[in-house]
Structure 1
Amino acid sequence: MKPGRPERPWRVGLGTRARREGRTAEWVAALFLMSRGYRILGFRLKAAGGEIDLLARRGRVLAVVEVKRRATLDAALVALKPAQQARLLAAGRAVARGRPGLAGLALRLDMVALAPGRWPRHIRGLRSRD
């Protein structure tokens, strides 16, 4: 808590719930990708440029996967902005440089969109538009 600010315990509860839901969404996305032949190499990887929700590999493709969970699938699909896409690609390049076993793989930015009551949607090969 910052000095001079009243304590707001309800905000702490919201943050805790959001983190828990985010981690659950990442596991759902990972299981979904694994059912489609991807091997999950890491969760919540911190790298120059940002945090990668999932790092996955399938064949010669190294996928930086952003997981978005929203109230509707449409809202999740538009939640990944161009600036974040560029940061995630930079983070993916940094991680790949630091792991010799990933050299020579084609880096790709993917997204798994999640919404209650809907099947996950995997969008492959997003392109940064900035």
Structure 2
Amino acid sequence: MRLLLSCGVHHARSHPRGAGARAVRSASPLVQRQGVRGRPRRRGRRAQRASRSGVNAGERRAARHYRLRGWRVLAANVRVGRDELDLIVRRGRALRIVEVKEKTGEGFGHPLEMIDRRKLEHVRRASVRWLAAHPELAALDVGFEAVGVSPGRLTRVPLTFDLDP
């Protein structure tokens, strides 16, 4: 952007003596009216990747936990209608559908306390639909787990419920 010298701001190369760009005490009324602002803050590559993938830090930690134990992550943040499945992992003939809850602070209890009956119903409904869309996985041993992620700790708990309504 180039502005006239009379406005108090100039491009470094536009000045005849080659003076560098300098700050001014106050912007001219023209610039103030236009609402000129600085460049927006850029996000780091890791944050950009995470926002594109839709996977939060707790889900990434849980996925890493499973991968380190020999599980293969088949899907993460799968949308099934209005519901969502956080992680779907497989190891051999075992298939696990995982609900991940993360808490960054120590207050208000354990992350797994946030999983209530309504959330389990959403997981069950989404699981039935997802498994119906993937009949090649129907012969596997399907199980459910909840993972609580808190600072310095990851807790896995098996969930038991019937897939039939």
TM-score normalised per structure 2: 0.58
Residue 107 of structure 1 deviates from its aligned partner by 2.4
What CA distance in whole angstroms lies between the structure 2 residues aligned with 1:45 and 1:28? 17
The one-letter amino acid paired with 1:34 is R
Bigger RCO of structures 1 and 2 (CA < 8 A, at least 6 apart): 1
Larger proportion of helix: 1
Quick one: percent identity of the two aligned structures?
A: 25
Counterpart of 1:26 in structure 2 is 59
Larger proportion of strand: 1
CA RMSD of aligned residues (A): 2.6
The one-letter amino acid paired with 1:46 is R
String of CA shifts for 1:77-107, please: whole Å, max 9, x gaps: 2111111112102211211111132121232
Counterpart of 1:113 in structure 2 is 148
Q: Is residue 124 of structure 1 aligned with residue 163 of structure 2? A: no
Larger gyration radius, structure 1 or structure 2? 2
Contact 2:55 2:77 in 1 (8 A): no
TM-score normalised per structure 1: 0.72
Structure 1 gap ranges (5+): 1-18
Contact 1:85 1:109 in 2 (8 A): no
Structure 2 gap ranges (5+): 1-49
Counterpart of 1:15 in structure 2 is none
Counterpart of 1:87 in structure 2 is 122
Q: May I ask how many residue pairs the two structures share in their alignment? A: 110
What CA distance in whole angstroms lies between the structure 2 residues aligned with 1:60 and 1:76? 29
Aligned counterpart in structure 2 of residue 97 of structure 1, from 132, 138, 153? 132
What CA distance in whole angstroms lies between the structure 2 residues aligned with 1:49 and 1:64? 17
